[in-house]
Amino acid sequence: MAARAYLDHASSSPLRPIALEAMLPFLAEHPGDPARLHAEGRVTRVAVEEAREQVAGLFGARPREVVFTSGGTEAVNHAVWGGVRRAGVDGDIVTTAVEHSSVLDACRRERGDTTLVGVDRVGRFDPDEIIGALSDDTALVTVQLANHEVGTLQPVAAICTAARARDVLVHVDACAAAGHVPIDFAALGADLLSISAHKLGGPKGAGALLIRRGLRIPPLIIGGAQERERRGGLENVPAIVGFGAAAAELSTDGRLATEAAAARRITDTIVRGALAAVPGLVQYGDPDQRVPHLVCLGIEGVEAEPILLALDQHGVAVHSGSACSSEALEPSPVLEAMGADADRSLRASVGWSSTDDDATHLLDALPGIVTALRALRAP
Amino acid sequence: MAAQTPGRGGVYLDYQSAKPVDPRVVEAMAPYFTERFGNPASLHGVGDDATATLDSARAKVAASIGALPEEIVFTSGATESSNLALLGYANRNRRAGDHILISEVDHISIHNIGKMLEKAGFRVGKVPPDQFGRIDPEKVRKRITPETILVSVGWASNEIGTVQPMAEIGEVVAGTGATLHSDAVAAQGQLPIDVSRTGVGMLTLSSNDIYGPQGVGALYIRNGVKVAPVAFGGGQEDGLRSGTENLAGIVGMAAAAEIMSRELPADAARMAALRDRLVREVLAAIPDAHLNGHPTERLPGNAHFRFEGVEGESLLLLMREEGISVATGSACSSKTLEPSHTLISCGLLHEEAHGSLEFTFGRWSKDSDVDSVLAVLPGIVDKLRRMSPLYNKH
Instruction: Output the pLDDT for position B354.
Output: 80
Indicate yes or no: CB of B215 within 8 angstroms of CB of A324: no
Q: Which residue has the higher pLDDT, A110 or B165?
A: B165
**CA A293 from chain center: how many Å?**
12
Is the separation of the CB atoms in B84 and B238 below 8 Å? Answer: no
Residue B152 resides in a domain: yes
Instruction: Output the pLDDT for position B175.
Output: 87
B243 shares a domain with B269: no
Instruction: Output the pLDDT for position B3.
Output: 36
Question: Which residue range is the domain that position B28 belongs to?
Answer: 23-259
B276 shares a domain with B186: no
In this structure, how many other beta carbons lie within 10 angstroms of the beta carbon of residue A314?
17
B269 shares a domain with B247: no
- Res. A324: pLDDT tops 50: no
B190 shares a domain with B56: yes
Q: What region does B243 belong to: left with phi over 0, alpha with psi -120 to 50, or beta?
A: left
Provide the b/e sequence for A198-208 (b: ≥16 CB within 10 Å): bbbbbbbbbbb
| Ranges for all domains in chain A classified under CATH 3.90.1150.10 | 5-13+254-377
User: What is the interface size between A and B, counted as CB pairs within 8 Å?
Assistant: 282
Indicate yes or no: CB of B108 within 8 angstroms of CB of A223: yes
Residue B3 resides in a domain: no
Q: In sequence order, what DSSP letters do the residues of B45-106 get, joined into one string?
A: HHHHHHHHHHHHHHHHHHHHTT--GGGEEEESSHHHHHHIIIIIHHHHTGGG-SEEEEETTS
Identify the band that residue B338 occupies on the pLDDT scale cut at 50, 70 and 90: low
- Total-model pTM: 0.83
**Looking at A274-283, A324-333, B208-217, which range is the least confident one?**
A324-333
Instruction: Output the pLDDT for position A16.
Output: 97
Query: Is B5 an 8 Å CB contact of chain A?
Result: yes
Q: In sequence order, what DSSP letters do the residues of B102-137 get, joined into one string?
A: EETTS-HHHHHHHHHHHHTT-EEEEEPP-TTSPPPH
Question: Which chain B residues are within 8 Å of A4, Cβ to Cβ?
Answer: 45-46
The predicted-structure confidence for B354-388, as pLDDT tens digits, reads as follows 888 999 999 999 999 999 999 999 999 999 998 87
- Res. B8: pLDDT tops 50: no
State the catalytic residue, choosing from B59, B332, B374, B390.
Answer: B332
B223 shares a domain with B79: yes
Query: Is A228 an 8 Å CB contact of chain B?
Result: no
Instruction: Output the pLDDT for position A328.
Output: 53
Query: Is B113 an 8 Å CB contact of chain A?
Result: yes
Question: Which chain B residues are within 8 Å of A101, Cβ to Cβ?
Answer: 233-235, 242
Helices (H) and strands (E) in chain B, counts: 13, 12
Q: In sequence order, what DSSP letters do the residues of B2-52 get, joined into one string?
A: ----TTTSSEE-BTTT--PPPHHHHHHHHHHHTT----TT--SHHHHHHHH
Rounded mean pLDDT of A265-291? Answer: 96
Q: Which residue has the higher pLDDT, A124 or A232?
A: A124
Share of chain B above pLDDT 90, in %: 70
- Res. B305: pLDDT tops 70: yes
**Among A45, A229, A236, A307, which would you mutate to test the B interface (most chain B Cβ atoms within 10 Å of its Cβ)?**
A236
B189 shares a domain with B111: yes
Identify the band that residue B1 occupies on the pLDDT scale cut at 50, 70 and 90: very low
Identify the band that residue B36 occupies on the pLDDT scale cut at 50, 70 and 90: low
- Res. A272: pLDDT tops 60: yes
Query: Is A3 an 8 Å CB contact of chain B?
Result: no
Instruction: Output the pLDDT for position A329.
Output: 58
Rounded mean pLDDT of B220-224? Answer: 96
For the question of an ipTM over 0.90, the answer is no
Domain boundary (B259, B282, B316) is at B259
Residue B362 resides in a domain: yes
Domain boundary (B226, B243, B259) is at B259
Compare CB distances from A225 to B215, B236, B336 and report the shortest one's residue. Answer: B336
- Res. A2: pLDDT tops 70: no
Distance CA A281, CA A97 (A): 25
Instruction: Output the pLDDT for position B9.
Output: 64
Instruction: Output the pLDDT for position A40.
Output: 87
Indicate yes or no: CB of A236 within 8 angstroms of CB of B77: yes
B166 shares a domain with B49: yes
- Chain A segment 149-178 residues within 8 A of B by beta carbon are none
Rounded mean pLDDT of A18-35? Answer: 90
Q: Which residue has the higher pLDDT, B7 or A244?
A: A244
User: Is the Cα torsion angle B127, B130, B134, B138 positive or negative in sign?
Assistant: negative
Phi, psi of B103 (to 5 degrees): -100, 145
Residue A249, H or E segment: helix A237-251
Identify the band that residue B331 occupies on the pLDDT scale cut at 50, 70 and 90: very low
- Res. B232: pLDDT tops 60: yes
B149 shares a domain with B44: yes
Q: Give the amino acid at A190.
A: A
The predicted-structure confidence for A146-159, as pLDDT tens digits, reads as follows 999 999 999 999 99
- Classified by CATH at the fold level, domain A17-251 comes out as Aspartate Aminotransferase; domain 2 (3.40.640)
Instruction: Output the pLDDT for position A233.
Output: 86
Instruction: Output the pLDDT for position B332.
Output: 44
Share of chain A above pLDDT 90, in %: 73
Q: What's the CATH number where B32 sits? A: 3.40.640.10
**Average pLDDT score, chain B:** 89
Q: Which residue has the higher pLDDT, A55 or A234?
A: A55
Identify the band that residue B4 occupies on the pLDDT scale cut at 50, 70 and 90: very low
- Chain A segment 314-353 residues within 8 A of B by beta carbon are 317-320, 322-327, 329
| Structural domains counted in chain B | 2
Q: What's the CATH number where B356 sits? A: 3.90.1150.10
CATH architecture of the domain covering A5-13+254-377: Alpha-Beta Complex (3.90)
Domain boundary (B259, B281, B296) is at B259
The predicted-structure confidence for B41-81, as pLDDT tens digits, reads as follows 676 776 778 889 999 999 999 999 999 999 999 999 999 99
- The catalytic residue positions of A are 324
**Alpha-carbon Rg of chain A, whole angstroms?**
21
Rounded mean pLDDT of B211-225? Answer: 96
Residue B394 resides in a domain: no
| Ranges for all domains in chain A classified under CATH 3.40.640.10 | 17-251
Share of chain A above pLDDT 70, in %: 96
Rounded mean pLDDT of A175-187? Answer: 97
Residue B305 resides in a domain: yes
Query: Is B112 an 8 Å CB contact of chain A?
Result: yes
Residue B5 resides in a domain: no
**Average pLDDT score, chain A:** 92
Indicate yes or no: CB of A233 within 8 angstroms of CB of B37: no
The predicted-structure confidence for B117-166, as pLDDT tens digits, reads as follows 999 999 999 999 999 999 999 999 999 999 999 999 999 998 899 999 99
Share of chain B above pLDDT 70, in %: 92
